[in-house]
Copies of this chain bind each other. A is one copy, B any other.
Amino acid sequence: MIFPSDTYKRMTSSPGGMKFIHEVIARSIKLKNEGKEIVDCGLGESSHGLLAKVIEAGMEALKKDEFYYVRPTQGLVELRAEISRQISKEFQLSVDSENVIVTPGAELGIDLVFKSILNPGDEVVIFDPFFIPFATIAITYGARPVFVDTFENGFLPSLKLMKKKISKKTKIIILNSPNNPTGRVFNKKLVEEITFFAKERKIYLLSDETYCFFDFEKIFFSPFNIYPEGTIVVRSFSKQYSMMGYKVGYIVSSTKIANYIKALQIPGWAAPRISSLMALAALKSSNPQSVIENYESKRDNLYKGLNEFGLVDYLPEGAFYFYLKCPSGNSLNFALELADKGLLVIPAFSTKNTHVRLSYGAIEKEQIPKILDAIESVL
């Protein structure tokens, strides 16, 4: 009797490898249940834990029995004010708190943005490899992801290749730097070129800046700096402040765009209250320098081994991922083999099936030799 929706059919056949993820994770859970130790380089999680001030803010909220909904739906007034203050400072632009919309995580923020902009038949330009939900959510709203290959360009966007994929139907170009899954950070010149092009053509830019804190070489540059009227910035508290379990992110955009998005944010789309209060405390504190140095050091140690194996030929400038070429050319098989050896990585993140993503966000330095051993054993 069940008759899944067309949306269901579109979403479950979305490119990027969502099905592979389920298969590999199921295998790793099975192995764990059989008593095998698995080093988890699967999910995109950071490991440095909550700041003391953030835990304190959470405790305070519980002590005060803060049980009501966040209101207004677009976020606590104080939180949006603090975000707008910091964004204004960072971008040297005056960003009002009315231009900030707090969401229950960045992924639902992207959903809200696409819902307010995309029509069936619209095209969304995505650089391949890519964070899978970009394609899945665009498809939800009937739009078509148009992929620009970056495999031959060291996983950096090529303006020339991109221009070939632009049509009258192009509504959004997605920038995701520092990049998930490649760890690449797009330099200022590159971002400028894409942004000026988008501006000229009146195409929106969705700039997913979830990993902007993880920018080891200080390369990160946001298109919002030069195209605030058409750029929609999405950020998250999850990675920088290790607040994955608290589900709070935000959107920054022009007044015009923000008003459209707000009108669609029904109450269910509000962020949790305790998370909002913790996010405010996070913004008022700041991560110590040692946090980022720890990730950088994990990166350097892993790079040495992975480069020797010939699986990666560039040093990722940001995020906390390595995107590894599979010797067999089949990423699902490679990932399943690695799971059997005690290492969880995620295949694909691409229309191609040639690479796996290794996340070092949540691992300890002591686990690096185990990771390299597991990989070596299947080469």
Contact = CB atoms under 8 A, between A and B. Distances in A.
Contacts of A140: 115
Contacts of A267: 107, 133
Interface string A1-45: 111111110011000001000000100000000000000000101
A213 interface: no
Nearest to A117: B5
A91 interface: no
Interface in A222-242: 229-230, 242
Interface in A265-282: 266-275
Contacts of A107: 266-268
Interface string A277-299: 00000000000000000000000
A108 B12 contact: no
Interface stretch (A58-66, A310-318, A347-355): A58-66
Contact of A69 (B2, B6, B71, B245): B245
A80 to B, nearest CB: 15
A43 B266 CA distance: 13
A358 interface: no
B257 A274 contact: no
A67 to B, nearest CB: 5
Given A7-B141, A62-B55, A246 B272 contact: yes
A136 interface: yes
A281 to B, nearest CB: 12
A303 to B, nearest CB: 25
Contacts of A256: 2
Contacts of A229: 1
A5 B119 contact: yes
A3 B117 contact: yes
Contacts of A268: 104-108, 110-111, 133
Contact of A43 (B69, B108, B263, B269): B69
A7 B118 CA distance: 8
- Best-surrounded residue of A72, A110, A244, A270 (most CB of chain B within 10 A): A244
A326 to B, nearest CB: 24
Given A49-B65, A55-B62, A140-B115, A70 B245 contact: yes
Nearest to A55: B62
Nearest to A66: B245
A16 to B, nearest CB: 11
Given A8-B116, A272-B272, 8 more contacts: A1-B229, A2-B257, A11-B115, A49-B67, A67-B245, A69-B245, A136-B266, A247-B272
Closest 7 pairs (CB-CB, A-B) = A107-B268, A245-B273, A69-B244, A247-B272, A58-B62, A67-B242, A108-B268
